[in-house]
A and B are shown apart, each in its own frame.
Chain A
Amino acid sequence: MRPIATTRAATGTETGKLAVWWVLASEVVIFGGLLASYVMFRLGHPEWADAAAVTNTTIGAFNTFVLLSSSLTAVLAHQAAERGDGRKAAMYLYCTIGGAAIFLGVKTYEWWYEISHGYTITSNGFWAFYYTAAGLHAFHVIAGAVIMAFVARDAAKGLELHRVELIGIYWHFVDIVWIFLFPLLYIAK
């Protein structure tokens, strides 16, 4: 049984949504600290551009497209949930999870290619940041996809439909982090 506290909304915003925004606030500073460190180092080490030149911008752009598309289906899922259509919402969420799977698959190929050509996490400072930042992001993609699977399972039965929007907000955040990572790690040669 939910406590009375959970049912109150003095701010007018549902408690779950408030909490998701605060989670994102704490995540922003985690990635913020990591990326700020990277940018400072990158400015101090022009020679890292040689390492950055090895990354495959085309594949990175494809992954960006996949991830952005998966956000679109997350929005469609929210729209369906608003209408009370749980089955459709679940279907769109599964599409989003599919996008996440493609993203991770492509990522695996990329890493396999780079590692097999000798560019490992210990190679130099650029590669250390490359694998750490992209790895932390991939970890968020995996976590988001797993939670999304639970939300979709409930939504298909018409339960807890408000959670569709909450996981959607989180998914947009994962997306936005990648939008920062892509130019910093791939485009800036």
Chain B
Amino acid sequence: MVEPAVDLAHGEAHDDHAHHGPQGWLKYLWSTDHKVIAMQYMFTGMFMALVGGFMAYVFRMQLAFPGINVPGFGGVSPGEYNALVTNHGTIMIFWVAMPVLLAAFGNYLIPLMIGADDMVFPKINRLSFQVFFVSTIVILASLFVEGGGFAGAWTAYPPLSADSTYNLTPLGSTLWVIGVGLEFVAFLLGGINFITTLMNSRAPGMRAFDVPIVVWMIVVASILFMLSVGPLLAGAIMLIFDQTIGTGFFNPATGGDPILWQHLFWFFGHPEVYVVLLPAMGVVVEIITTFARKKLFAYRTVIFTIVATGVLSFFVWAHHQFIAGIDPRMANIFTITTLLISVPIAELCFIYIATLYGGSIRLTTPMLWALAFVAEFLIGGVTGIFLGAAGADVYFHDTYFVLAHFHYTFFPIAIIGTFAAFTYWFPKMFGKMMDERLGKIHFWGTIIPFNLIFIPLFVLGMGGQHRRIYNYDQFPDIAGGIFQDMRELATYSLLVMLAFQFVFFYNCFKTARSGPKAPKNPWKANSLEWTTESPPPHGNWHPLRMPVVYRGPYEYSVPDREDDYWPQNDPDGAPLQVVDDDDS
């Protein structure tokens, strides 16, 4: 599914470079161009989003109408249900949020926004996608092997994940570990590229504090990923040995400990939240400054805030384990760090609001997505306080409250953030302007059902509905009445939301066929990617006319200027280079 879409992106722009390397569709498969690799990541990620969404549809149908013959799938057995929820979680995080937000937008934006012609290691970049592609095949194949896909929940706690007499998926669970491990290797390769590219390949004149926030965010996220994933890779090796050779790292009978896995998993798992959150928050910064026509409030504070968030995120992991038998004194410490980490994130939200305050706001489709991100993520953040406090978490743990909280954070990140970025950079990526009316229909058709899916789940969770149950008919207290109504409401809303995604795909295809051509800088934005053609040619700029930077990326509505924007590479007024007054 990758080739035609990539073709769309690089149609004519590439013709004069066609003599480089392999011809035809192979050109796209073996390309080292960061934009082509970004598209490969993006379309693989979107395809996997459809797979993950289909899984959600199947198990939501089963939850609302136990025993129903789900159209397009059939009856859902308990084993299949477990495999569906496990792989829905795994796929949505590791094969949708990470490849699209981090890898696709990281690859696309970093070189363009810092004024480079490509990543510093184009071949390693290509290798990164190829490893990722193999990992995608492995995880998809694991769904069809004997015994079915892995059914031990996406957190893969032993002994359920380590011993196939418990999870009943001997092949699926091993393939799952291999797939996730390969995926980590792919992002390590990509991350090293991102970090070194930002460090070394900025355009002449671009200082550290002239770099657009989204690039900072993606790179800080890459560093977080790199420093947190190691212990889990070590854990994955141990888990695979436990599964296949029969070692007992996680088996108390041979001196092991299942809690070790929880520590290794969440030591990665919590920074991982910020790995995907930060790029989305960066995307929002670019959009709200552009469409509020206002300078970003407190640029440097944003940078220091995300670094603080990154450091703190390594000291909160045990809040996932409050009922796993950890020492209550430890629970106290982790409660404090968890409540602390909400401070920098709240700070970012206030910075966004301060940026909007007094701006001349334009409610375009990307702006709607960006504003929705702030509003919806806020709900996710506030409900997280309940779960971060050990006292409340003992009750809420493993209920639908957790699930709803989680989706109020990850849906804004992975779906709202992605649509914001996609609609904002679509003119640059594909050289066409999207239909605003269809875009807004899609926006409201996604946001309203999203809230109607997950608000009922908060209520169900507070009512005590446990999350890992296949059929609630077995529990007379919550089988019928308002509980059943809530479950049905959530499922119907999901169907509505999925249906509205067709508007999005229709909009994409309509735009590709007959959309108006996009100018270089349709939004009148400042950063460097808007100074080249839409879509940018191979090498992004003419090799002899690479951009030079004179100022930061957020100089909107500067007094005494005719235009209300001031591109970073505009030499006009250059001697009076902006002094370090970003924080004023």
Residues of A within 8 A of B (CB): 3-6, 8-11, 13, 15, 18-19, 22-23, 25-34, 36-37, 40-41, 45, 48, 121-122, 124-125, 128-129, 132, 136
Contact = CB atoms under 8 A, between A and B. Distances in A.
Contacts of A18: 195-196, 199-200
Contacts of B229: 26, 29
B255 A36 contact: no
Given A3-B118, A30-B234, A34-B231, 14 more contacts: A3-B117, A3-B122, A3-B539, A10-B201, A18-B199, A22-B191, A25-B227, A26-B191, A28-B230, A29-B228, A32-B231, A124-B248, A128-B238, A132-B247
A167 B439 CA distance: 51
Contacts of B255: 41, 45, 48, 124-125
Interface residues of B, number: 48
Interface stretch (B155-163, B256-264, B276-284, B572-580): B256-264
A134 B192 CA distance: 26
B487 interface: no
B197 A5 contact: yes
9 contacts: A5-B116, A5-B200, A6-B120, A10-B200, A33-B230, A41-B260, A125-B255, A128-B241, A128-B254
B157 to A, nearest CB: 16
A31 B241 contact: no
Contact of A15 (B120, B235, B238): B120
A45 B539 CA distance: 58
B20 to A, nearest CB: 9
A13 B200 contact: yes
A30 B230 contact: yes
Interface of B: 111, 116-122, 188, 191-193, 195-197, 199-202, 206, 226-235, 237-238, 241, 245-249, 254-257, 260, 264, 267, 539, 543, 546
Nearest to A127: B247
Nearest to A36: B231
A15 B196 contact: yes
A5 B395 CA distance: 53
Closest 9 CB pairs of A and B: A33-B231, A29-B230, A125-B255, A3-B118, A5-B116, A30-B230, A34-B234, A5-B201, A33-B234
Contacts of B257: 41
Given A3-B118, A22-B195, A132-B238, A37 B264 contact: yes
Contact of A33 (B192, B232, B254, B256): B232
A42 to B, nearest CB: 10
Contacts of A5: 111, 116-120, 197, 200-201
B241 A124 contact: no
A122 B243 CA distance: 12
Nearest to B33: A3
A30 B233 contact: yes
Contacts of B227: 25-26, 29
B126 to A, nearest CB: 13
Given A4-B546, A6-B120, A10-B202, A25 B226 contact: yes
Contacts of B264: 33, 37
Contacts of A34: 231, 234, 237-238
B211 to A, nearest CB: 11
B494 to A, nearest CB: 38
A125 to B, nearest CB: 4
Nearest to B238: A132
A29 B188 CA distance: 12
A170 B10 CA distance: 39
Contacts of A125: 248-249, 254-256
Contacts of A9: 200
A108 to B, nearest CB: 19
Contact of A122 (B226, B233, B246): B246
Nearest to A13: B200
A2 B236 CA distance: 36
Given A10-B202, A22-B196, A124-B255, A33 B233 contact: yes
A127 to B, nearest CB: 9
Nearest to A9: B200
Nearest to B110: A5
A164 B235 CA distance: 33
A4 B245 CA distance: 48
Given A3-B117, A10-B200, A22 B245 contact: no
A19 B255 CA distance: 39
B318 to A, nearest CB: 14
B230 A19 contact: no
Of B201, B226, B264, B543, most buried by chain A (CB within 10 Å of CB) is B201
Given A11-B200, A33-B235, A34-B234, A122 B117 contact: no
Contacts of B116: 3-5, 8
B503 to A, nearest CB: 38
B507 to A, nearest CB: 34
A41 B546 CA distance: 56
A148 B234 CA distance: 25
Contacts of A128: 238, 241, 247-249, 254, 256
A27 B241 CA distance: 20
A26 B226 contact: yes
Contacts of A15: 120-121, 196, 200-201
Given A3-B118, A3-B539, A30-B234, A22 B200 contact: no
Given A15-B196, A124-B254, A30 B245 contact: no
Given A4-B546, A33-B267, A121 B241 contact: yes
A122 B267 contact: no
A6 B188 CA distance: 19
Contacts of A26: 188, 191-192, 226-227, 229-230
A23 B121 CA distance: 13
B280 to A, nearest CB: 23
B124 to A, nearest CB: 8
Nearest to A26: B226
A136 B237 contact: yes
A30 B192 contact: no
Nearest to B228: A29
A30 B343 CA distance: 30
